[in-house]
Amino acid sequence: MIGVAAVVLIALLLAALFAALSCAMALQVRSQEALTGMSKMLALPLVFLSSVLMAIELLPDWIGTVAFFNPSTGPRSPAARR
């Protein structure tokens, strides 16, 4: 049960981090189109350089190193261990 609580807590913290980042970017650009482009430009590399699509063990070494420090890897890792 502790593992489930940890996954939920990590997911909530990560969601709050990305929501705050999105709000900060929106205050700077003041345009919905620019904000959408900036958020996609940030989110897509984070997804591709994480373990969301593939296990870290199967990734090339340099992507595995980047994925280890990637914030998108955090919520998936405890859930994948179950």
Please state whether the predicted TM-score (pTM) of the whole model is above 0.85: no
Q: What is the pLDDT of residues 11-60, one digit of tens each?
A: 899 889 889 988 999 999 988 899 999 888 888 888 888 877 888 888 88
DSSP 15-58: HHHHHHHHHHHHHHH--HHHHHHHHHHHHHHHHHTSSSSS-GGG
Angle between helix 2-29 and 32-48 (nearest 10): 140
| Number of folded domains that form the chain | 1
- 54 neighbors 66 (Cβ within 8 angstroms): no
Between 51 and 61, residue with greater pLDDT = 61
| Predicted pLDDT of residue 64 | 83
Instruction: Tell me how many degrees the CA angle 18-33-45 measures, rounded to the nearest 5.
Output: 45
* Domain enclosing residue 17, as ranges: 2-80
